[in-house]
Amino acid sequence: MAFQVKELEKHASGQAFELILSPQSKESLPEFPLSSPKNKDLSLEEIQKKLEAAEERHKPHEAEVLKQLHEKRECEKVELQKMIEKNNNISKMVEEKLTHKMEVNKENPDAHTSAKLDRLRKKDKHTEEVRKNKEFKVPADETETN
């Protein structure tokens, strides 16, 4: 198919063209046919052979994918096992500490309570001292301002 281009006008916004198509001549026929080649009727055996060949081509890829999935699952299993082991170790340590603390409290319940009472007495004594110091300071400050 041949065509001619004819320029019409030039504008500030662009150009205008006219495209003139000439009728198709027998000389300008394309070398290849435009329609798709006709598929010949395939027999059942040929179709099965093609399907088997396609399946053979896909097998290595499927095997590779399955291998990668298997490796990934193995890694996940190892990681999960490590996490479980770590959690078990932590819970054993916590349980041992708690058991030890309970044993210490059972062995010396009197020492434990007396230690708490001592701390309370010291706290009360400190509180009393702070109150006394405040009482002495307040009148001294008032006399200085008067």
Average pLDDT score over residue span 117-138: 90
Check if the beta carbon of residue 112 is closer than 8 Å to that of residue 105.
Answer: yes
3-34: pLDDT as tens digits = 677 777 777 777 777 777 777 666 665 566 56
What secondary structure does DSSP assign to 65-94, as a single string? Answer: HHHHHHHHHHHHHHHHHHHHHHHHHHHHHH
What predicted TM-score, i.e. pTM, was given to this entire model? 0.38
At residue 108, the pLDDT reads 75
At residue 101, the pLDDT reads 86
Instruction: Give the chain's radius of gyration (CA, Å).
Output: 49
Average pLDDT score over residue span 89-101: 94
Task: Output 50 or 136, whichever has higher pLDDT.
Answer: 50
